[in-house]
Amino acid sequence: MRWAAFSCLLVPVVLVVYGTSFGGAAVATLGLLAVTAACRVLLRHSERTAARVRAQEPLAPVGRRRHSRGGAGMRRTCRGSDPASPHD
């Protein structure tokens, strides 16, 4: 959120330096503040929702974790090719 506050202060200054009126810079500042506030609200909401979902998930037993069946040692081979083919 520090970068958002920094940009909300920096953008109007840059606009005024490059010739935009104070009124135009003020409108841009209000727009940036509104977008920043909406993004912050949505981010907090998604964080709370994710935390709630994580809290409701049952913990997996220690010996049985969620992994795919094909581990790192599995080899992919061409189906239908002769086992003694030079492509292996």
pLDDT of the chain along its 88 residues, tens only?
A: 677 778 778 888 898 899 888 898 899 999 999 999 999 999 999 999 988 888 887 766 665 556 555 555 555 555 555 556 555 5
E strand or H helix at 5:
helix 2-17
Instruction: Give the pLDDT of residue 43.
Output: 93
Tell if the pTM clears 0.85, that is, is over it. no
